[in-house]
Amino acid sequence: MTRPSMLRRLALFVYLTVASAAGSAALPAMVDDQPLPSLAPMLERATPAVVNISTISVVRTEDHPLLRDPFFRWFFELPRESRRQRNQSLGSGVIVDAARGLVLTNHHVIDKADEIRVTLSDGRELAADLLGADPETDVAVLQIPAEDLTALPIADSNELRVGDFVVAIGNPFGLSKTVTSGIVSALGRSGLGIEGYENFIQTDASINPGNSGGPLVNLRGELVGINTAILAPSGGNVGIGFAIPINMAEAIRRQIVEFGGVLRGTFGVSVQDLTADLARALRLASGTRGAVVTAVEPGSAAEQAGLRAGDLIVDLNGVGIGSATDLTTELALLRVGDAVAVEAIRDGRSRRLSAVIADPYAAFVDGASISEQLDGALLGEIVDESHLGSNPGIAVGPVVEGSNAERSGLREGDVLFQINRQRVKTIAQLRAAADGGITRIRMRRGERLVTLVSR
């Protein structure tokens, strides 16, 4: 190669290197007279509404699991007091009402917290009051002093489509104002065992510990979901995150703000998805969607409305029902006394039925009317004994946190079948057995038999 050729190549190399370095150092603001796309303007509007939530909880600790057994402590005359340990946790939240200072987050972020503090994007740290929470949907509502706050506008999550771009904002691992982007990977995810009522938005936007309770927004900066969980088989983020649709979270928020909590009723149906085989058996047209009724509880609102096993529910209160999850989700947002308008297909014909959501604890009695030790729990006789084997008894309904009943060891879902060594199946038998005080309770908790002893 001649010297002039080498010089020309060297000059070309230097030119390309310098041009490349210049290009990587500063991207042009415009390309072909068009501005480069950026999420920055939207995020500048949205991030002031995102908050950091820190909690402190005081828990009792024991040296050995046996020390948690009240009978063991009673037998060895050990003191009831135990050591206390302070735990701290971090999460995220989003302001949804600036005028009233309302913040949405996850129930698991603030669960059992003795102190909740909210840090705003401008650095202000405020004490927060817990207005209420719903463990079944993992939604909690906090209130902070409403001064110079910014709230996110709320979108209609029913309008989301798979493939829509979304952005997750939060404080993963305590790193504030972290933003990740992705798309809606799927809608209506359920059966994950994360919450009692599941209808998740699935996204590949990175969600990590600390993101819980933070917002999932669309490209307009509107709130479409509350980030809540990830699927992490390897322990890290693999691009499968889940958010509670904002329509569900907002319905729960409204109930908590208005009533102080969520009082779910019962409709009384068991349903399943419509399969191809069921569609043929029910002689339904191709493409029909809905929730197939597999059983109707006797005396329930569903029975009073006229529903039967084999009916296909396709609409509830004007909302189209495409699956069993759709129906379960819509029913979960209704309160006791709410009216229900159902459209169902039976024998190829559409039928319109109506009912009122019933109170599942209407026949329960206040534990305080039986014994001071049961104060704070609702108790009711079990009608259907089939699932309890040979130990039917008294069902324990909701238990007030911090009440005598909770301190006695009762939990919602327990079934009492022996009080002071006397068998109880009715409220009358329970009253008689508890007369003079309760020293021993024998009960079923799930698949376990539990004994509570009072000194």
Given a contact cutoff of 8 angstroms between Cβ atoms, the answer to whether 292 and 312 are in contact is yes
Is 114 one of the annotated active-site residues of the chain?
no
409 sits in the region (left: phi over 0; alpha: psi -120 to 50; else beta) called: left
Task: Give the separation between CA 405 and CA 385, rounded to whole angstroms.
Answer: 24
Q: Is the Cβ–Cβ distance between 174 and 90 less than 8 Å?
A: yes
Residue 270 a catalytic site member = no
Strand 440-445, strand 200-203: pairing: unpaired
Write the single-letter amino acid at 82: S
Closest CA to 215 of 238, 189, 196, 243: 243
Active-site residue among 92, 108, 185, 311? Answer: 108
Is 234 catalytic? The answer is: no
Catalytic residue among 134, 138, 311, 326: 138
Residues 38, 46: Cα–Cα separation, whole Å: 14
Give the burial string for 292-319 (b: 16+ CB within 10 Å, else e): bbeebbeebbbbebebeeebbbbbbeee
Residue 406: φ, ψ to 5°: -65, -40
> What span, in angstroms and rounded, lies between the C-alpha atoms of 102 and 340?
29
Q: Are 382 and 393 in contact (CB under 8 A)?
A: yes
Catalytic residue from among 92, 157, 185, 212:
212
Of 50, 28, 48, give the one whose Cα is nearest residue 38.
Answer: 28
CB 342 within 8 A of CB 316: yes
Q: Tell me which residues are annotated as active site.
A: 108, 138, 212
